[in-house]
Amino acid sequence: MGARDKVWEVFRQEAEGDPMVHGGSVRAPDVELATHYAREFYGRRQESERLWIVPRDAITELDDPDLLKPPFDRSFKRPGGFLLKHKLEAARERAGTDAVTRSEELGE
């Protein structure tokens, strides 16, 4: 059996409407046994609403650092790159408003 084993990635949904989340993997020679083992490992305690069982070799992996971690500062592409708080402070300074009082009024 060993040589014919494949790895299957198992995704589970905890409650109806939740996103599918990666649970882990199982080894099995085919989809039928993989389904049974996924049930045993990720569903037998009634913890899953639904499982997805995906052969690992159907997954396209992207891990090229040139694509994922380019060597320049790209922090402006992250939403965190735009801190509204700092922009507000700068705008208030220009307008001559007390930044602390104003932000308290805004509940920040």
Partner 1 sequence: MSDLEPRVRSALAELLLSMADDEFVLGFWDSEWTGIAPILEEDVAMSSVSQDEIGHAKALYEMLAALTDDNADRIAFGRPADAYRHAPLMNHPRTDWAFSVARRFLYENADAIRLEALARSSYTPLADLAVKMRREETYHLLHFDLWLRRLADGGPDARSRLIGAIDALWGDAQGVFAPLVGERDLLTAGILPESLDAMRLGWLARIAPLLEAAGLAVPSVSLPPTADARVRHTADFAWLHGEFTMVARSEAGAAW
5 lies in the site for partner 1, by CB under 8 A: yes
E-assigned strand segments in the chain: 6-13, 21-28, 50-55
3 lies in the site for partner 1, by CB under 8 A: no
Tokens read off for 19:
């996103």
Size of the site for partner 1 (CB under 8 A): 14
39 lies in the site for partner 1, by CB under 8 A: yes
State the CB neighbour count (10 A cutoff) for residue 49. 14
Q: What is the binding site for partner 1 (CB under 8 A)?
A: 1-2, 5, 26-28, 32-33, 36-37, 39-41, 44
